[in-house]
Amino acid sequence: MNIFISGCGGFIGSNLAIKLFKEGHTIYGGDIKGPNKLLTDFRDTYEDREDFLNRMNMYNMDFTSNNVKKEIFKKWNIDLIYHLASPIGVKNIIENSNKTLRDANKINTFFDEVCSEFNIPIIFSSSSEVFGSGEIDINSIYSIKKYSDSPRWTYAAAKTHAEFLFQSGNYPSTVVRFFNVVGIGQTTKGMVIPTFMEQAKKGKALTVLENGIRSYCDIREAIDYIVPIGMSLGKFKSESKYNKKDYNIGNSKNIISAEELAKKIIKLYNSNSIISRDSIKYNVDALPVRKLLDYDADFKDNVTVYDIDKILQNLKDYNDRNNENDKL
């Protein structure tokens, strides 16, 4: 297939692009920041340079502008879109909540128009944020807070609006909501596991900001969920069993508190780091653990499950290899 990935320079997008490329597909990707280190490292180490140049096409694209023309999707004969592009960053969203909504609406409207005009199937990347701060199970409905409760819910409102937009379109679509996905390619900025690892490696204190628990999902596991959805949607279109459905993508088995996570990472690095608590933020209510895809037999044969220890070890091994390469 010819597959377009918006937000291909991000954490999930870059891992998805590499996975689909390895499976033989031709990838077109657009991101406002261009390809990230994971993609450039893959490019530099892939043995067939000509094949890479023919099938991995990355572009700097700002979908909030009028510079990206819909006609390129027809020119490239795109069979399927994974739409991951979105305004990100909690601080950015809180400080620029109105801009978050306007930018998200521009991006999502652009892809709605592309899919409507050329009948291209789309998988939209939503978020667990649409469920607000309540209990999540397979029967949950939208319960995001009002803007007056906190501007952070602007992001959730934008995602909720987009879910309705794409699911009401006259083209094949599926919504996937990611829950605490972690792994190789995720930056330290604002992300708990890479931040803790960086602190432990340097012997610095690991700061715990909240007393709640999370359930972490490895990026490889998350990708294993969404690739078969795309293959089915791209091939069977409106006849796909995934068409006009929504799925929560995560792992409800890797349940761990931030403090226990910090202890595991300190032990993994044999570090002298201590655990500290931010007294201002520590008592903030955390989102409860979500019940996710464990019940869904559709995915059982396609997904490899990684427990939290395997996730952490894989990240450490990758970081160690990168550090050795940097020295060389």
Q: Which residues contact 25 (CB under 8 A, 6 or more apart)?
A: 1, 2, 3, 55
- Quote the pLDDT of residue 286: 41
d(CA 36, CA 258): 28
Give the pLDDT confidence of 77-122 residue by residue, as tens digits. 999 999 999 887 666 777 878 888 899 999 999 999 999 999 999 9
Angle between the N-to-C axes of helices 153-167 and 97-118, in degrees from 0 to 180, rounded to the nearest 10: 10
Question: Region 177-198: what's the mean pLDDT?
Answer: 85
CA-based end-to-end distance of the chain = 38
Q: What percent of the chain has pLDDT over 90?
A: 57
CA distances from 245 to 93, 100, 172, 173, 254 (A): 28, 26, 10, 8, 25
Higher pLDDT residue, 225 or 115? 115
The model's pLDDT over 15-65, given as tens digits with 9 standing for 90+, comes to: 999 999 999 999 999 998 878 889 999 999 999 999 999 999 999 999 999
211 or 179, which is more confident? 179
% of the chain surpassing 70 pLDDT? 84
Number of other residues whose CB lies within 10 A of the CB of residue 271: 18
How far is the C-alpha of 136 from the C-alpha of 138, rounded, in Å? 7
pLDDT tops 90 at residue 328: no
**285 — pLDDT class (breaks 50, 70, 90):** very low
Task: List the structure tokens of 325.
Answer: 């390469």
Q: Which residue spans within the chain are E strands per DSSP?
A: 2-6, 26-31, 56-60, 80-83, 122-127, 173-178, 181-182, 206-208, 213-215, 217-218, 245-249, 255-257, 275-277
